[in-house]
A = this chain, B = another copy of it.
Amino acid sequence: MKRTIGIISLAAAAVCGLSAQQQLWGPQMPVSPQVNPDSTVTFRLFAPQAREVKVWGDFLTTSKADSTAAPAPMALAEGVWSYTTPAPLKPELYSYRFVIDGVLANDPANVYQLRDVATVQNLFLIPGGNAAWYRVADVPHGSVSKTWYHSPTVGADRRVTVYTPAGYETDKERRYPVLYLLHGMGGDENAWSELGRATQILDNMIAAGKVEPMIVVMPNGNISQQGAPGETAEGFKQPSFNLPNTMDGLYETHFPDLVAHIDANYRTLPDKPHRAIAGLSMGGFHSMNISRHYPAMFDYVGLFSAATTPREGATSPVYANPEAKLKAQFTSSAENPAGAPKLYWIAVGEDDFLIRNNEEFRQQLAQAGYPFEYHLSEGAHTWRNWRNYLTQLLPRLFR
């Protein structure tokens, strides 16, 4: 009954569902993208019947604005359209798509893609510099769990991403500090671990001894959602940027439910000196408001390109008396014996559309004499900045 397994090789394509596609397209699939030795990048698409193909992505951005550079025309030769960047690209995680006869299309030769709200783009990485932290390296890896917690305040189960550092499983007595890391408008509990490369950044910076081993909790910041698109009973609904009840205060007041769940189910150090909260854009707004509404909860606060002012007409008590709340956060009292947070860290890009709000908030903090750090970077309201800010903030936590 011994029979060769050759039949599997013959039917290999069928095993993984590639048969017809491989027959029709596979042999002609060119390498794309190709990172050349000089850090220029070549994109290729086999499309002999197309009339016009362009490539479009953030690697084209040379001005201060983001993602607004025009798509670059590709040239056709022997059925393959190609484009090579005229200059080397700086180390960074980049995204791109093709425009094939006017239609935005992903690169069929590149399976690496990320969704940002309602857009899916291909990825590539130019290693080196700060982007070295974004690579998967041969270091001990933490675990990333997609799990759920119940919020009595909301009356629902909610999905959350939890990173536990390498060694968490084996060193069963050790307790860890916790960073709560929040996404921006339109994002979800997958944003930081995927778009933000938080898993890789943490694995690599912990392995390098630059960052304390910590638990990182990446919740869903849209209080009307139980979880990311496709992960709830709403089904495969097209993601929306405009969600109900955003920034109406309920997210902030539900937050202690999440903290209680994490402290009950993970080996945390459940006190202010071992809790940090940071977020980008709307997540910066949430971090600012949660940390000042619950001044005894977080000793480290990070605001990345934060929205700093409430929605017009927001009536939640969370947003009432902001000056008094800020004073309570930065002043020792019965409610907040430890007083000011050990680190109040603000970063924003000089071309960010929220720069003026951040500058005003900076003045407010300075005039009141509260301790804080303010980091003005290049660039605007982009994941490129937020990943970078994370690598700057992490070494400052819990030390």
Contact = CB atoms under 8 A, between A and B. Distances in A.
A353 to B, nearest CB: 4
Contacts of A89: none
Given A20-B67, A233-B137, A120 B111 contact: yes
A119 B236 contact: no
A138 B233 contact: yes
B106 A309 contact: no
B383 A15 contact: no
A8 interface: yes
A138 B229 CA distance: 14
Interface stretch (A142-150, A267-275, A335-343, A387-395): A142-150
B119 A18 contact: yes
Interface string A119-160: 110011100000000011110110111111000000001010
A93 to B, nearest CB: 10
Interface residues of A, number: 106
A205 interface: no
A309 to B, nearest CB: 5
A239 interface: yes
Interface stretch (A181-189, A211-219, A251-259, A286-294): A181-189
A125 B236 contact: yes
A148 B233 CA distance: 30
Nearest to A226: B138
Interface string A1-33: 111111110011111111111000100000100
B101 A20 contact: no
B148 A141 contact: yes
A230 interface: yes
8 contacts: A3-B309, A6-B312, A15-B186, A16-B184, A19-B66, A51-B101, A111-B239, A125-B236
Interface of A: 1-8, 11-21, 25, 31, 45-52, 58, 66-68, 100-106, 108-113, 115-120, 123-125, 135-138, 140-141, 143-148, 157, 159, 166, 169-170, 184-187, 229-233, 235-236, 238-239, 241-242, 247, 265, 281-282, 307, 309-312, 353-354, 357, 360-361, 364, 380-383
